[in-house]
Structure 1
Amino acid sequence: MPGLISAMQGFCVIGIVIAVGYVAARMRIGGPSAQMVLNRFSFFVSSPCLMFAILSKEPIFDIFHPSIIVAFFSAVLVGVVFLVLNRMFFHLNAPDATIGALNSLYLNSNNIGLPIATYILGNPALVAPILVMQQAIFTPVGLTVLDVTTKGKVSIKEIAKQPLHQPLLIGSLLGIVVSAISAKSGWFPVPKFIFDPIDMIGDSAVPMILMAFGMSLHGTKPLQQKGDRPAIFTVAVLKNIIMPIIAFLLAYFVMGFRGSELYACVVLAALPTGQNVYNYAARYNVGLTFARDGILMSTMTSPVFIAIIAALLS
């Protein structure tokens, strides 16, 4: 089963780099701010450069693959399922329920998605449509609901400014523009002496992301609030089991995908919850521990289910 072996090798590469970050945190290499520095540098510099370098060289029609339909509807359906379950069983207030829905549907397309797409699927550009979809649709909708439920009003200005605070989205969109120009003109418009340093900086994104994540695991004590545990476990099940199943059904029976297309759709659906959700919870001061524990739980269980998917589909 070469697909499973490839997935395990990819997880081994990812796990070793995460372990290096964890050990560095235990040994206090870089000081208490090392994780923050790596995260911020990757978020604002390396990852945007990586996405630009990847997408600018990617054929424009390959970027917006029909698989984005699978990603969108599987995410929306999972979010709706959580809201229904919350109404039936958990009875979280509206802001916390919003965080729960985002925890269920929001993919970690950067910190975990990029390494998995790179080392397991072999094409980091696969996460680009998901990243654009989440930042252009799910983030504004989620923030609008949080605005209404916490403040009783909508700040259109703040919501409209969100894309300007997302360097990954900006880097991705610039790469898409360059790809479109290349397809139209037949030549690559960025000079080599400008593209090469961007590409070089982008190469540092994935290892920095993984080491920062490893550092974040040091000293973590999840599931301290017992009342949130049923909702947290539900989030993990929805994110890592139900969403890939929905993605498989949509990809196989609705879109007619087979082979590597089907495999990529299901693997990406099994990505853990994106850390952006915790940022949104912190911004509105709602569901902080719920968001953090949901992210951690889905992150810890995601490799198991991706390995199962690799064994079944690859």
Structure 2
Amino acid sequence: MLSRLAFFVASPALLVDVLSRTPFAQVVGHNLLVSASSVVITVAVYLAVVVPRWHPDLGEAVIGSLAAAYVNAGNLGIPIAAYVLGDVALMAPTLLLQLVCLTPLAMALMDVDALGRRPRPLETLLAVGRNPMTVCALAGVVMSLVGWRPPDLVMRPVEIVGGMAVPAMLLAFGVSLRLGPRPGASGSTGQIVTIVVCKLGVQPLAALALASALGLTGVHRLAAVVTAALPCAQNVFTHAVRYDRSVLLARDAGPSCRCP
């Protein structure tokens, strides 16, 4: 229930609130390119290792890829950007990439997987339109681009509901640790190791190489590497529960990436 509450109610409200206040013109640049490219490289490495060995279906591959490359840019990234990097705006490119591109794409693929067959174009469009995460992400983008935000009478309740997203995810995760099988009981140790190597090794190294190649220096290069090295977000577990795909893998991936 907590996961469904976070997925269908709290997270969509959070997306509208955050994206409608994000100045997109200030975050589109080299840092966004580095963030996007490091995600693509990390997912490619993960799939190249996992697909030949474990043969995951589409839903399992999506959850594993998210665990390997989707960083906790909100709950951890924003405080780190404020107190370590000295500027919260440095986390904006990654937030933009994940909320506007990665989340809608992943949810669309999960909806396709839930159909159990190759969908017709209209079915794909309808599935995307029924997903509250995708709809609210796009709504927030539109509001930011046109420079319009509903009055406080409307947005204040949205902010309050959105503030429930992270606590609900964390509580659901804690319940799964207490009442679910012990960590590693799913037999996915090999995939967990692959995820940890990709998340804490491949992604930050790729970000460092790309940032250096693009001429980023100082705090901007540091921001790219630190952001890429953040552990996977709790959203991944929520999505896994919502679609009933690789739930134990998503549950175990989060603490594993935090252990170092």
TM range, normalised to the smaller chain? 0.7 to 0.9
Q: Separation in 2 of the partners of 1:114 and 1:173?
A: 23
1:177 pairs with one of 146, 169, 190: 146
Partner of 1:153: 118
Q: Does residue 236 in structure 1 map to residue 196 in structure 2?
A: yes
Give TM-score, length-normalised by structure 1: 0.64
Partner of 2:233: 274
Q: Separation in 1 of the partners of 2:4 and 2:127?
A: 24
Counterpart mapping for 1:122-201 below 5 A: 122-150=86-114, 151-154=116-119, 155-156=123-124, 157-162=126-131, 165=134, 167=136, 170-171=139-140, 173-178=142-147
Q: Separation in 1 of the partners of 2:153 and 2:84?
A: 25
2:51 pairs with one of 75, 83, 87: 87
Matched to 2:230, the amino acid is L
Q: 1:106 to 1:210 in 2, by over 3 A?
A: closer
**Aligned residues: CA RMSD:** 3.8
CA deviation profile, 1:115-141 (whole Å, cap 9, x unmatched): 333333333333333333234433344
Q: 1:235 to 1:85 in 2, by over 3 A?
A: same
Q: Give the conservation status (yes or no) of the 8 Å contact 1:117–1:123.
A: yes
Q: Give the conservation status (yes or no) of the 8 Å contact 2:66–2:236.
A: yes
Higher relative contact order (CA 8 A, sep 6+): 2
1:265 pairs with one of 219, 224, 229: 224
Structure 1 segments unaligned to the other structure (5+ residues): 1-31, 179-188, 305-314
Structure 2 segments unaligned to the other structure (5+ residues): none
- Count of residues paired in the alignment: 251
- Which structure: larger Rg? 1
Partner of 1:20: none
Q: Does residue 225 in structure 1 map to residue 185 in structure 2?
A: yes
Give TM-score, length-normalised by structure 2: 0.75
The percent of aligned pairs where both chains have the same amino acid is: 26
